[in-house]
């Protein structure tokens, strides 16, 4: 698959019939879920810094189903805990057997519904202990909109995670219209600018202005910034000029299957030669 070739999904990826909770439960039982891994690069050096784990559903009849089509249903039907457990177990197993590069981070998306789970940080610590993974290698990504709806729970959860040494990122920043200085009262370490801004940056002065001000504000608050949705070289060059810290995007590669990551890591300079010039 070339870097820009999209993953093959059916239409809205879920097909026409609504997805049911029972189908998700069956998928969990019969191991229809898998993970993709999207590299995160240092914006300046283009060195590999980590991966984000992204869930996929290889459905026997619907084909490849994307998270947007089933995570909300899992959240509403008490199945998000089991999905999180799958993602943590699977990505931790992958991390210890594949990464090979010292110090790589592993980012995991956490649903808003987990924010009120007081045992989550202890549970994750236990999982890290079992796998021998350093706590500071793990970055928990929680969306800006989830945090806005659950400020007190978010504060409690972030404190529990940070005290143990985990890192926390605000994901999808820019979708919730919140002010960064207000959010910054929460103990997180990284801001991920929503991919819609990265995708639009080439054509939209507003998107560029938002990215620029978010980077400036984040840096003045001591936070690092990840730009997502980077699909073209001029946008990457713009981000480098602004001093953005990290990038994700189809310009680097589509999210990789677990079995593709070993080779990709080994040949990473060759794989990104189209952006090195």
Residues that bind Mg ion (CB under 5 A): 109, 141, 171
Complex with ligand C2E: residue 99 or 111, whichever CB lies closer: 111
147: nearest Cα among 135, 137, 157: 157
Stretch that binds ligand C2E, among 64-72, 118-126, 130-138, 204-212 (CB under 6 A): 64-72
Per CB under 6 A, does 39 bind ligand C2E?
Answer: no
Interface with ligand C2E, residue 191, by CB under 6 A: no
Q: Which of the 8 DSSP states describes residue 6?
A: P
**Nearest-approach distance from CB 256 to Mg ion, in angstroms:** 15
Specify the residue for token string 């059916």.
10
248 binds, among ligand C2E, Mg ion, none (CB under 5 to 8 A by kind): ligand C2E
Contact 231, 251 (CB under 8 A): yes
Contacts of 211 (CB under 8 A, 6+ apart): 193, 197, 198, 201, 227, 238, 239, 242, 244
Token representation of residue 97: 């057997």
Q: Is 62 in the site for ligand C2E (CB under 6 A)?
A: no
Tell me, residue by residue from 218 to 247, as one string, x for binding to ligand C2E by CB under 6 A and - for no binding: ----------xxxx----------------
Instruction: State which residue, 117 or 171, has the beta carbon closest to Mg ion.
Output: 171
User: Angle 133-138-144 (CA atoms, 0-180°, nearest 5)?
Assistant: 165
Binding mask 192-211 for ligand C2E (x = CB under 6 A): ---x---x------------
Considering beta carbons, is residue 69 or 171 the nearer one to Mg ion?
171
99 makes contact with ligand C2E (CB under 6 A): no
Question: Which residue intervals of the chain are DSSP H helices?
Answer: 21-29, 71-76, 80-98, 120-131, 144-149, 151-164, 180-183, 195-200, 205-220, 233-242, 258-266, 268-271, 273-276
Interface with ligand C2E (CB under 6 A): 38, 54-55, 66-68, 71, 87, 109, 111, 141, 143, 171-172, 195, 199, 228-231, 248-250, 255
């Amino acid at each position: 698959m070339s870097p820009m070739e999209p993953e093959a999904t059916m239409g809205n990826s879920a097909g026409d019939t609504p997805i049911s909770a029972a189908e998700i439960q069956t998928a969990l039982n019969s191991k229809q879920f898998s993970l993709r891994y999207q590299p995160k690069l240092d914006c300046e050096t283009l060195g590999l810094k980590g991966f984000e784990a992204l869930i996929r559903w290889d459905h026997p009849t619907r084909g490849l189903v994307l998270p947007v089509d089933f995570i909300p249903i899992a959240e509403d039907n008490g199945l998000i805990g089991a999905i999180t457990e799958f993602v943590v177990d699977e990505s931790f197993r992958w991390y210890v057997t594949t990464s090979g590069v010292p110090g790589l981070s592993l980012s995991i998306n956490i649903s808003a519904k987990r924010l009120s789970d007081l045992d989550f940080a202890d549970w994750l610590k236990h999982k890290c202990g079992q796998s021998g993974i350093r706590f500071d290698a793990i970055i928990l990504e929680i969306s800006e909109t989830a945090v806005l709806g659950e400020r007190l729970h978010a504060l409690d959860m972030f404190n529990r995670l940070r005290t143990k040494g985990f890192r926390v990122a605000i994901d999808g920043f820019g979708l919730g219209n919140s002010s960064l200085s207000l959010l910054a009262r929460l103990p997180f370490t990284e801001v991920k600018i929503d991919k819609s801004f990265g995708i639009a940056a080439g054509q939209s002065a507003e998107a560029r202005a938002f990215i620029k001000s978010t980077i400036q504000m984040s840096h003045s608050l001591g936070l690092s910034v990840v730009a997502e949705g980077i699909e073209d070289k001029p946008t990457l060059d713009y981000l480098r000029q602004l001093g953005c810290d990290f990038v994700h995007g189809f310009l680097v590669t589509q999210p990789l299957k677990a079995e593709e990551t070993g080779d990709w890591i080994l040949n990473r300079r060759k794989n990104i030669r189209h952006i090195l010039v």
